[in-house]
Amino acid sequence: MTGSEAGATGGFEPATGAEVRPAGAGGPAGAAASHPERAGAVRDAFEALLRIREVVNTSVVDPGAVPAEWERVRMVRAIALALEAAGVPPSAVDEHGARTATGYLVTATEHPRVVRVEWPGPRGSGAGHEAESALRGCARVLGGLGWVVLEYRGKGGRRHLEVEAPATVRR
């Protein structure tokens, strides 16, 4: 198991885009497509997430279309898993914090029920030019799983998404 697969409890960890991977180390950090073992772990974790939805969302017409409480209290992990399972590449950094790969970056915000998704990349990679279409793809994936996704422009016109559970979910 790689560092992005094993968390503090020894379980699977989805790639958030903040994982360390030196430049030129091949494929995006945690990218399922470049590692068959990783692909199986991602698939299994995502299927487990969907089963959790079916078990706990019994009062919902389509239980798979609404994030479960488990996801709402682990939003960074749930959002990262959904993106990785959809084949969206995660970003990565080197041991000094410099970006080594273009892709999604999922981070917590100051609000516990909102997660931020960005599209960073190495200097000169053109990630800023890709951000609009890449983030819209991320929004489609997450919206299809029942998350509420809003797109914003921040400093310098940099785009990002803010993701939260729908208001229909009991808080």
DSSP of 39-50: HHHHHHHHHHHH
Q: Which residue has the higher pLDDT, 4 or 146?
A: 146
The answer to whether the beta carbons of residues 41 and 5 sit under 8 Å apart is: yes
Residue range 110-130: mean pLDDT, rounded: 95
Instruction: Check whether 46 has a pLDDT greater than 90.
Output: yes
Q: Tell me the pLDDT band of 29, cut-offs 50, 70 and 90.
A: very low
Q: How far apart are CA 79 and CA 90, in angstroms?
A: 12
Cα separation, 80 vs 90, in Å, equals 9
Instruction: Determine the 3-state secondary structure of 116 from DSSP.
Output: strand
Q: How confident is the model at residue 1 (pLDDT cuts 50, 70, 90)?
A: very low
Work out the percent of the chain whose per-residue pLDDT is above 70.
85
Say whether pLDDT at 44 is over 70. yes
Per-residue pLDDT for 144 more than 60? Answer: yes
Beta bridge mates, 163: 115, 149
Tell me how far apart the alpha carbons of residues 127 and 122 are, in angstroms, rounded to a whole number. 8
Average the pLDDT over 126-154 and give the result: 96
Place of tokens 């509420």: 148
Pick from 1-10, 47-56, 57-66, 139-148 the range whose average pLDDT is largest: 139-148
Q: How high is the pLDDT of residue 10? A: 55
**pLDDT over 90 for what percent of the chain?**
69
**What pLDDT was estimated at residue 155?**
84
Q: Which residues of 71-83 are buried (b: 16+ CB within 10 A; e: fewer)?
A: bbeebbbbbbbbb
Taking the model in full, what pTM does it have? Answer: 0.85
